[in-house]
Every structure is written in structure tokens, then in C-alpha cells.
Amino acid sequence: MSQRSPFRAFLFAVVFVGFMAPVRADEPRTGTEVPAPAGGDAKDKTKDVATEDESDGTEFLRYVDDEKHPRLESAIATYRNADGVVVHLVAAVHVGEKSYYEGLNKTFKGYDALLYEMVKPKNMAAPVRGQRTGSAVSGFQRFLTDVLELEFQLDGIDYSAPNFVHADLDVETFYKLQEERGESLLTLMLRSMMAQMARAGQPGGAPPITIFDILAAMNSPDSARQYKLLLARQFQDIEAQMAGLEGPDGSVLLTERNKAALRVLKETIAKGKKNIGVFYGAGHMHTMEQALVNDMGFTLEGVEWRVAWDMTPAAAPKGQPARKAEPVGAK
């Protein structure tokens, strides 16, 4: 086992809390062509819409290692059934560029219904932008927002839109199910760390990150971009990482919440909605896709990519060389 793998496993646990844990809201204290998304601009999405190899499943999150324009991209995968119902799986990144959320808000207006994830108390209204909660997960996500100089999803997305439909567990049911399974945030983090350590050294994974890489990024003049470059590479094997969270009977965090989302999706289709978006964390999407294709009769039509993190180097002042896109510690 690599001497650096324990730190890499710990780093993934941090990334898991920041980006893959549920967006949590507490009560406030005070046929042939992919349908074009409504709105959005050229800066927050790639121009091409590519068809994926269904045998391998769709990729929902990818790091594009482009020297001039390195970026983390999330997918909007579009599916259609024989009745003409179109479902868009919109892979969410909980901390992203302001332009990323602005583009999504415009796109969501074109859907008959937008199903969203959020573990929140029963009968609680949708959160308003800027609403603060007592959730430790939400607090950590806001901390990452500051460190990475990005925007928090609850600040960027307009959850008050009339076509938004809650499609998640309520917080009471979430904790009840976790208690029954003996599951907690700590046990999931430990499970993910053990899975990471077991896979250390296997080919095809992201390059390991050391404490020295973190310190170098911290002392860099563009530290926020360097942090993003280091973290974005860890999403290359996101499917395997999320699989490491699942126990023999799945997990509440992924399995049970996916069941809730799919149940609401079926209810929404039964109500006659024809153009539906499902806005959930990227780690949920592989299982949702399997349910759509294998159980519900949908066929993948295409995938559009949106830029969630833009890590393009800043233009250098006149007379100075431009900064390289390569992250510290990448060699």
C-alpha cells in the first residue's frame, strides 16, 4: 500500500462531506435530437452534445485536463421513453461557479417540473437564497465556498421557482432510517476511507495528493485555483468512490434517497408532465440512470456538459509570463 494512500483517503472523506453529502436545510433561525436547454450561455456549457456508450454507463462528472482551460464539468443527460416523456438527469455540484448556477436556473425554467434533493424537515418550505442553517454539512460546504472562491448551491439556485418539486427524504425519516441501519456521517466517511485505501495503487485512479501538495497550494499566489485543480482530479473515479460508501444493503445517503427521488419521478410522470429534470448530486446519477433505462423503459439520447469549476489561469500582467495550469505537486 502506498505511504500516501491514507492521506488520499482522508482527503476524499473531506471532499465527500463538501460535495457528495446531501444539501441539508434546517428551519431558518431568524426523438432523435436532444431538446435544447432553455437559457444558459456559452461560458457555462460546452457546445457539443455527445452520445455516451450505454454499455459502460454515462459519465456524470469529469475533470478536463486542458492546459489553457482546465475545468470540472457536470453532465445533463437526457432520456426519452416511448410515450414521449423526457427526463433530464442534472448532475449537481454543491459548490460551483456563479455562472454555473445562473445557467442552471435558466435551463430549469424550461422544464415542466424540476425534482430536487434536500434533506429538510417535514412541511418546511423551499429555502430562500442566502438562508443559513445549523447543519454541520452545510457549514462545511460554505467553508469550502470561501476557500475555493466559489458559490454555494443554496445561494445560487432559485428554489422558490413554481416548477420545483421536493424529491428527497425528510430529515426525520432520514435519521430514523440511519438509526435502524446503524449508519452515520462518521461511519460513511470511515467506509469511504477504507475503500480508498483498499484501492490505493490500482491503475486508472487519480494521482495521490500529499500534505505537501496542500501546503504548496496554500502558499501559492492563486491558492483557490490550485486547491480546485488538486481536488478536481479526485473526481475522475467518482463512481468507484461512491460505491465505497454502500454497505451490503446499500445506504440511506444514496440508496434510500434515490428510491425517494424515483418514487416522486414516477408520480410526476403519472400527473402528465412530459419534460422533467432531476437535480441531484453527481454521485446519485449512475443508479438513477440504471433505473430509468432498465426498469422504466427510457433510452439515453445525449449528454450536455456544463462547466462547474473554471480553473483557467488568470492573465498575467504585461511583461510577466502567464501562470501554468499545472497544479502544484502534479509531477
Question: What does the pLDDT read at residue 4?
Answer: 43
Q: 250, 81 in Cβ contact below 8 A?
A: no
Residue 21, pLDDT above cutoff 70: no
**Which residue in 124, 132, 133 sits closest to 170, CA to CA?**
124
Judge whether 188 lies within some domain: yes
State the Cα–Cα distance between residues 309 and 98, nearest whole angstrom: 9
Q: Could you tell me how many helices (H) and strands (E) the chain has, helices first?
A: 11, 10
Judge whether 40 lies within some domain: no
3-class SS of residue 178: helix
State the Cα–Cα distance between residues 235 and 4, nearest whole angstrom: 18
- Checking phi first, is residue 4 left (phi over 0); if not, alpha (psi -120 to 50) or beta? alpha
Per DSSP (E only), the strands in the chain are 45-50, 61-64, 71-80, 86-92, 95-96, 113-116, 151-152, 164-166, 275-281, 299-310
- C-alpha grid cell, residue 167: 424529491
87-132 confidence digits (pLDDT tens): 999 999 989 999 999 999 999 999 999 999 998 888 888 877 766 6
**Which residue in 257, 273, 260, 283 sits closest to 81, CA to CA?**
273
Judge whether 39 lies within some domain: no
Which residues lie closer than 8 Å to 320 by C-beta, 6 or more apart?
none
3-class SS of residue 233: helix
Q: What is the mean pLDDT of residues 177-200?
A: 70
Judge whether 122 lies within some domain: yes
Judge whether 22 lies within some domain: yes
pTM confidence score: 0.79
Q: Quick count: other Cβ atoms within 10 Å of Cβ 225?
A: 23
What are 87's strand-pairing partners? 79, 276
Q: What is the mean pLDDT of the chain?
A: 78
Judge whether 127 lies within some domain: yes
Query: pLDDT band for position 146 (50/70/90)?
Result: confident
Report the Cα 53 to chain-centroid distance in Å. Answer: 21
Residue 45, pLDDT above cutoff 80: no
State the Cα–Cα distance between residues 167 and 173, nearest whole angstrom: 13
Question: What does the pLDDT read at residue 147?
Answer: 84
Judge whether 41 lies within some domain: no
Percentage of residues in the chain with pLDDT exceeding 70?
64
**Positive or negative: CA dihedral 181, 95, 111, 73:** negative
What are 304's strand-pairing partners? 49, 76
Residue 54, pLDDT above cutoff 50: no
> Domain range holding 92?
5-29+50-310
Number of domains in the chain: 1
Query: pLDDT band for position 273 (50/70/90)?
Result: very high
Judge whether 12 lies within some domain: yes
CA distance readout (Å), 135 to 21, 172, 183: 11, 14, 17
- C-alpha grid cell, residue 120: 429538510
Query: pLDDT band for position 181 (50/70/90)?
Result: confident
- C-alpha grid cell, residue 187: 461511519
